[in-house]
Structures are given as C-alpha cells and as structure tokens.
A and B are shown apart, each in its own frame.
Chain A
Amino acid sequence: MIKDFRVALREWPAPEAGPGLRARILTSRAGGRRVPLPIDRSAAWRLRLLVAAGAVVAIVAIATLGRGRANQGAYTDLLSGAPWWPTVGAAQGRRTPPRAPRYPLISDLDLTRVAGGTWTYEGRTTTDGIHTGTTGQLSITASATRLDGTPVWLITTERRPVRDAADSLFVSQTTLRPLRSVVNGRNSRTHIVQQYSADSVHETIDVTGRGERHLRTAVALPGAAESPVLVLSQFGTDLNLLSQALPLRPGWRGSAYTFGLASPAGPIPPFAPIDLRVIDDDVVTVPAGTFDCWKLEVVQGDAGGGFRSYVWVSRDQQWVVKAEYRGGDFVFEQVLTSYAGVR
C-alpha cells in the first residue's frame, strides 16, 4: 500500500503555468519591481559579510565625519590599529577578482557639462527614526589646473572639524579617470599616494612613528582604459564630477570600478564594481535649495551583492544633492548645504 502511493506521489501531475506568467514576470521587472529572495548563505558568504560589515563601519565612520577623536585622525586610527592593516608581506598576497559589473561600463560621458566649484555637504544620522543631529561638514572643491602639462581637475576636501592635512585627487579632464590621489592621516603619520596610469596603479603607504612601515605595491586596473574609476579612499568626492557628465535619463544604467587600497591582501579586493541606475525622478529640498533630481540606486562592492545606497542628482547641473545609506536601524544622509561656482 505505502509503496503504491509513494509511486503515485512521484507521478502526481501538476498543471501548466498560465500562459501569461512569463510576460507578467518581465513586465514586473520592467516596471521596477524587485523581490528580495532568501538565498543560500554559505560559510564563505558569511565570512565576506563579516568582513564587509567591518568595512562599512570603517567607511561610515569616516564618511559621517564623526565628532571627536574618530574625526581627527580617521585614517591613522582606522588603519594602523585594524587587523587588516597590511604587513609588508601582505602586499604580495593573492587577491580575489572583483565580481562582474552589473551593467555595461560607463563610456558615453559628456565632458563639456563638467564644471568646477565648491560643494559643501552636511552629514546627519538618524537612528530608529529619531534625529540625532549633524555629524560634520564636508566641502569638496574641484578646480581646473594642470598636472605635468595635462589638464586636470584638482579635487580637494576640507572637513569640519578640521583635519590637520587635506586630501587631494587629480582627475583627468579628458576621461575623468584618476591620475594621482593623496590621503593624509592624523598628525601626518600616515601618507598614502596612488599614482594612476592607463592600465595600473602604483601605491605607496608610509606610516611613521609607532608601527612604522613602508609599502610599495602596483596592481593592474580592470575594465576598459577609457572607463572612469572612482577612488574609494576619497569617499565619493570624484562622483561629483562624474555625475555631471553622465547621460542620465529614465532607465539609464552604467557601471564603473572603485579602487580602494592595493596593499592589503585579503577577501576585500582593491577593485570593486559600482553599479549606478536611474530608478526615479524626485523633488528634493535640502539646505541649498529645492532641486528636481534623478534618483540613482548605487550598488557598490562585492559582499552580499554589494552595499546599496541612493543618490539624488539634480537634473539641470547634475550635482549630487543628497546621498542616503540605510543600515539596519539607522539612516545616514549627506545633503548639499551650499555651492560656490568656479569654472
């Protein structure tokens, strides 16, 4: 008896799916519907998530321009004491290649739209729906200049409370690819220089004083030679120039690579894709005014499919007006408070 019905179970027929199901699926996707699926969480995935969570904490700690000690020496505090701060030997370690970009690499930039200026942002964090106040100011200045005879945009950042040394980034005016990045740590103890060529990055990291070390690393750049690369250690300051050149329109999507640090070997690759997609248009009011904006979904990194944040870009000048990252119980926002134009 039991054997018979077990055979019958295996042969139990099921009806066909309705003929419209395929079209319904594609229509839902085209309409922007997304469904988070419960996916296998392998041990490797959990490890990546753990590492990534640490990275997010580090990035948010810096990007939120936190008060007090964390703000005064973010790099030194975060890097020299952290377990993934590289040793000399680690610079030769084997790396995991980055995941594939979700969209075609960005190539159709309108560089004539790009203008310099100073954008000032205010960061604020809201936890459990309760406004917890501002977390500092970030001013980004992009000015046209030359580097070794090449026309470049020099991007400098200034933070309040003030750090003791400014960071700077030179970006090619003809490709918006980085050419040279300088990041300084607390009391100038940590000094990171990245020199970019068409196909590689040469990096030097010098830490003086306690825990002194000097690292020299070179890595090849992924992606097409003309596609933009965002410098992660500059915390999105170069996105302000790139956003101005993007051919934003409903449904637009494009990917680029971000570059972090070449030297630390480990599960976080120096390169990771950043996927940008226009998902909506929106009217946003920030201290600098009210802007008609494109709302972009930004997925950055590898772990767990990447970190998802949202950026509002004004439709006229294509400035970054607002950025938002949602954590488990908090929302971090960075909003434009003022702009001073300098071409």
Chain B
Amino acid sequence: MATQAEPTDSASAELVRRIRLGDSEALGGLYDVFGTALFRLAYRLTGTREDAEDVVHDVFVGLPEALDRYEERGRLGAWLGRVTTRVALMRHRSRNHRREVGLEGAEALAAESERTEHTALQAAVDALPIALRMVLVLKEMEGYSHAEVAEMLGINAVTSRVRLLRALRRVRRELEDHR
C-alpha cells in the first residue's frame, strides 16, 4: 500500500508506542496519516463506500490491541494494508452476500464514473467474483507482489497468478462486450 505521507520509522514507532499506552489522540494521529490510503484500499476491495468505512473503522478500533502483535519488522503502512485486506476478506466471508450498492452510492458512483470515463471498467471489476477481485485490486491497483498477495489471502503465489490472469481476461471480455 502506498501512502503519500508515511511517517518516518521513529514517528511511526512513537505513534505505536503511545497507542499501546492507550493514547486515543495517537490513534487519531495514525488515522490522519494512513486513513485515506487504507480507505482507498478498502473501497477498491469492497466496492462500496459504506463497506469501506466499516472496514477502516474496524481496523482502527481493533488496532490498539492488535499492535501488541506488530513486531515492527517492516513498514507500518504495509502491515496496516495487510490487516485491512484481511478485515475486508473476513467481512465478506462473514456476510457471504452479494455486494449491493445503495441508491445514493450508485448515483455517486455513476456521477464519478462519468467524470472519469471509468463506467465500463468499474462495471467489469464489480462483476468479478470476490476472489478474483481481491487479487486484481492488490496486484494491479495496490502494487503488491504475488508473494505478498498470496500471504494476505492465504493462498499460494501460483494461485494468485492464475486468479490475476482470470480476472484480467474477464475484465477484458466485459470491456469488449461493452463496446
């Protein structure tokens, strides 16, 4: 996950230390730094603003306890991205539902899509099964490696490659049909 304003290691460590001590302002500070990027990731994974907000909400609410298991071996942003992906996946599994875009969300998406000429592309991505969508988002949009995608989703790297190829083929087919 790329963040435009990822703090230095020492700044991250200080925020983590304060959160572990129960400092809610530090939790807010961490949200200020990573919230936008994590929301974007969650939105791409879930497809709706409501679900994305719920995912980010759950990630930050659970963070003070989860940070006890953060071993500070890598970038905090990447670790948060992995946690966000897993929460999104867990949420999808627990609900086991087809994504439904509310009327308000649909209108907003439509308006946004018209502006950015992404209507067909968005429809094609939205039509993907969740397993393919997650690999597509993580690999193509977020820039994770297949090894990282595999680790996040609990699959192996070969499966990740296969799912990406299938996802790309389906999206291409949808776009060709749309034309």
Which residues of A does B touch, CB under 8 Å? 1-2, 5-6, 8-10, 12-18, 21-22, 24-26, 28-30, 33-40, 42, 44-45, 99-104, 253, 304-306
Contacts and interface: CB of A to CB of B under 8 A. Distances in A.
Given A17-B56, A29-B27, A29-B61, A9 B39 contact: no
Given A12-B118, A305-B68, A37 B39 contact: no
Nearest to B53: A21
Given A35-B59, A102-B22, A103-B22, 11 more contacts: A1-B176, A2-B172, A10-B143, A12-B118, A12-B122, A17-B52, A21-B31, A25-B60, A28-B61, A29-B24, A37-B66
Contacts of B43: 14-15
A305 B57 contact: no
A6 B27 contact: no
A21 B171 contact: no
B83 A38 contact: yes
Nearest to B85: A38
A303 to B, nearest CB: 10
A25 B27 contact: yes
13 contacts: A12-B121, A14-B43, A25-B56, A29-B61, A35-B58, A36-B66, A37-B59, A37-B63, A38-B90, A40-B82, A101-B21, A253-B22, A305-B68
Contacts of B159: none
Q: Which 3 A-B pairs have the closest CB atoms?
A: A35-B62, A305-B68, A17-B39
Contacts of B20: 100, 102
Nearest to A18: B53
B27 A38 contact: no
B100 interface: no
Contact of A1 (B40, B90, B141, B172): B172
Contacts of A2: 168, 172
Given A36-B65, A38-B90, A24 B57 contact: yes
A150 B49 CA distance: 65
Interface string B27-38: 110011001100
B69 to A, nearest CB: 5
A230 B49 CA distance: 48
A305 B141 CA distance: 33
A21 B61 contact: no
Interface in B1-31: 17, 20-22, 24, 27-28, 31
Interface residues of B, number: 55
A40 B36 contact: no
A37 B32 CA distance: 20
A21 B55 CA distance: 11
Contacts of B32: 22
Among the interface residues A8, A13, A40, A103, which one has the most CB atoms of the partner chain B within 10 A? A40
Contact of A38 (B17, B35, B44, B87): B87
Contacts of A5: 121, 171-172, 175
Contacts of B49: 15, 17-18
Contacts of B70: 39
B96 interface: no
Nearest to B17: A100
Contacts of A24: 53, 57
B61 A39 contact: no
Contacts of B35: 17, 21-22
B146 to A, nearest CB: 15
Contacts of A45: 69, 71
A305 to B, nearest CB: 4
Given A1-B172, A12-B118, A44 B62 contact: no
A39 B70 CA distance: 8
Contact of B71 (A9, A42, A104): A42
B107 interface: no
B140 interface: yes
B3 to A, nearest CB: 14
A252 B28 CA distance: 21
Contacts of A39: 66, 69-70, 83, 86
B155 interface: no
B108 interface: yes
B82 A9 contact: no
Nearest to A48: B69
Contacts of B143: 10
Contacts of B125: 9, 12
B84 to A, nearest CB: 9
B144 interface: no
Nearest to B49: A15
B172 to A, nearest CB: 5
Given A25-B31, A35-B61, A37-B59, A8 B118 contact: yes
B118 A305 contact: no
